[in-house]
Chain A
Amino acid sequence: MDIAALLPLLEFTDTGLRYIGAGIAIGVGGAGPAVAIGMLSGKAMEALGRNPEAQPVIQTNMILGIAFAEAVAIYALVVAVMIGFVF
C-alpha cells in the first residue's frame, strides 16, 4: 500500500492539490486577522463609550492597529495567489 500508487486512484492531481493549498492558505490565514480586527474595534468602541471627546485619537490609533492586523491577512492572500497562479 504505497501512497504514490494510491494518489492517482483518488484523482489527486498536481493542480488539484495546488488549488487546495491556495484555498487553505487564505482560509486559515484570514481567520486570525479577522479575530484581531474584531477585538481591536471592540476595544475602541469601549474606549469611545468611556471618553467620547477622545474620538480623533482613538480613531487614528484604531485605524493604525487594524492596518497592522490586516497586513497579516494580506500576506496570506499573496501566498495563496502565488501558490495558485505562479507556481
Chain B
Amino acid sequence: MKSPRTIGLVIGAVVLLLGGFLFVRGPKPIIEIKAETITDIGPFPLVNTYVTSCAVVIVLLIVAWLATRKLNIVPHGVQNAVEAVMEAFYNICVNTAGEKNGRRFFPVVMTIFTFIWIANWMALLPFFNAIGSVEQVTAEEFHKEAVVFGKSAGISYIKTNQKALEFDVNTAACSAFEGTGAAAVADAEKKHESCISGQRGLAIAEKLDKKEATHSGVESCVGTPGDAAYDACLVDHSDKAIADVRADGKTLGVLVPYFRSMNTDINSPLSIAIMAMIFVEFWGITALGAFKYASKFFNVSSPINFFVGILEFIAEVARIVSFTFRLFGNMLAGEILLLVMTFLLPFLVAIPFYFLETFVGLIQAFVFAMLTLVFGVLAASSHEDHEDHGIDEPGLVHIGNIPAGIEPAP
C-alpha cells in the first residue's frame, strides 16, 4: 500500500487538484440554452448544432463505408464491430416485436439509435464547446455576461484566472416606458428601446472602468433615462470603453463555439421525435388499416370508450413532447454539468462526470429507440391480441414477456 508508486500517484493527484484550483481556473461558464448562430447562409442562420449533426452524418457514412468495403462471411475489423452492434440490437428488436414486425421496424429504430448514440458520444470530444469565434458584446448586441479575451498571434483566447464580467442593467429606470402606463407617453416603445440601450451601455462602461481600468468618461453624461441624447451619450461612452479594451489587443465578447452537442438544441430531439411518431402511426395504419386504427382513438360505441379514445389521442401527441424533453433535458443537463464541474475543479473532478455522460448518452439513445419500437408494437397490435394470455407458443411474443437469453416454453 505504501509503495512509492502509490504515494507518487496520490501526490500527483493532489498537486493536480490544488494546482488546477489555484492557478488554472477559467471564468464562470456562460450558459446559453439557445443554439448559437455561427454565420448566416442567405436567409438561413447556420447554427453550431447543425454543423455537429453534419459531422455526425459524415462519421456514420465513413464507418458504413469502412465496414462494407470487402465483405467477408467471417467478419474482421470494422465489419466485425458493426455486425456485433447490429446483431445485438436486432435480437432485442425481434424479441420485443416478434419476427415479422421486428424485421419491419428494425431499420428506422436502428437508425434512430445509432444517430443519437454517435451524436451524444461525439459531444465528449475535447474541442466541443471550447473552440469557436468571438462575438463582440456592445450595448446593441448585448449579453448579460461576457469575458475579456486576450489576443496573441491573431488568435483570441481566454486567460487563466480570469473572471467573467456580469453586467447589472438597471431596467427599473426604464419602467416608465413599458407596461400599462406607457400609453400616456409618446413614442413609448422607441423610448423604451433607447432607454434599455442606454442602461446597457452604462452597465458595460461602469464594469469595464472598474475591472479593466478603462476611461470611458461615462460619468460626464447627464440626463434622464429615455431622453435620446442621454442614451446616445451612454452608448457612445460604452463604445469608447470597448475600443479602449480593444486597443490593448483584448476583446470583450462571448465565445460562439463552432461545435456543440447536437441534442442540446431542442429542434434536434423534436425533429427525431416527430419522425418517430409519424413512423409509429404509419406502422399502425399499414398493419391494421386506416379505419380500424382510427377507431382506436375515435370510438363512438359508448361514451366511456369515446372518452378513453380521446385520452389515448392526447397521450399519443404527448409522446412527442416527452421524447423531446427526455433527450433534450438529459443532454443539456449533461453539458451544463460538465462545464460547471470543469470550472469548479479544473482537472480530475470532471473525469467521473465524463463516465456518467458516456453512460447517459448511450442509455438515452437506447431508450429513444426502444420506446419507438414499443410504441410501434402497440400501434400495430389490435385490442383482440391483448386478451389472449394462454401458454406462449414459440413465435407468439407479448410485450410483457421478453425471452432474451431464455428458451421459450416449447
Assess A56 versus B404: contact at CB under 8 Å? Given A67-B364, A81-B336.
yes
Per-residue B-contact encoding for A45-87, CB less than 8 Å = 1, 0 else:
0000000011111001101100110110011011001100110
Are A74 and B33 interface neighbours, CB within 8 A?
no
> Which of B92, B329, B402, B405 is within 8 Å of A71, CB to CB?
B329
Interface size grouping (class) on chain B = 20 to 34
Are A61 and B402 interface neighbours, CB within 8 A?
yes
Tell me the interface secondary structure of chain B in the complex. Answer: helix
B307 to chain A, nearest CB (A): 25
Assess A74 versus B333: contact at CB under 8 Å? Given A57-B405, A60-B404.
yes
Are A77 and B370 interface neighbours, CB within 8 A?
no
Per-residue A-contact encoding for B111-123, CB less than 8 Å = 1, 0 else:
0000000000000
Per-residue A-contact encoding for B24-51, CB less than 8 Å = 1, 0 else:
0000000101000000000000000000
Are A81 and B325 interface neighbours, CB within 8 A?
no
> Which of B31, B92, B333, B406 is within 8 Å of A60, CB to CB?
B92
Tell me the interface secondary structure of chain A in the complex. Answer: helix
B334 to chain A, nearest CB (A): 10
CA separation between A13 and B92, bound complex, in Å?
A: 54
Are B326 and A77 interface neighbours, CB within 8 A?
no
CA separation between A68 and B325, bound complex, in Å?
A: 11
Are A78 and B332 interface neighbours, CB within 8 A?
yes
CA separation between A78 and B324, bound complex, in Å?
A: 12
Per-residue B-contact encoding for A3-35, CB less than 8 Å = 1, 0 else:
000000000000000000000000000000000
Q: Which residues of B contact A68 (CB under 8 A)?
A: 367
Are B370 and A64 interface neighbours, CB within 8 A?
yes
User: Which of A's residues lie within 8 Å of B, judged by CB?
Assistant: 53-57, 60-61, 63-64, 67-68, 70-71, 74-75, 77-78, 81-82, 85-86
A sample of 25 inter-chain contacts (CB < 8 A) reads: A54-B405, A55-B405, A56-B405, A57-B402, A57-B404, A61-B402, A63-B363, A63-B366, A67-B326, A67-B364, A68-B367, A70-B326, A70-B330, A71-B322, A71-B329, A74-B325, A74-B326, A74-B329, A74-B330, A78-B328, A78-B333, A81-B33, A81-B333, A85-B33, A86-B33
Beyond A57-B405, A78-B328, list 18 extra A-B contacts (CB 8 Å). A53-B406, A55-B405, A57-B403, A60-B92, A60-B402, A60-B404, A67-B364, A70-B326, A71-B322, A71-B326, A74-B325, A74-B326, A74-B329, A74-B330, A78-B332, A81-B33, A81-B333, A81-B336
Q: Closest 7 A-B residue pairs measured CB to CB? A: A74-B329, A67-B367, A71-B326, A56-B405, A78-B329, A57-B404, A56-B404
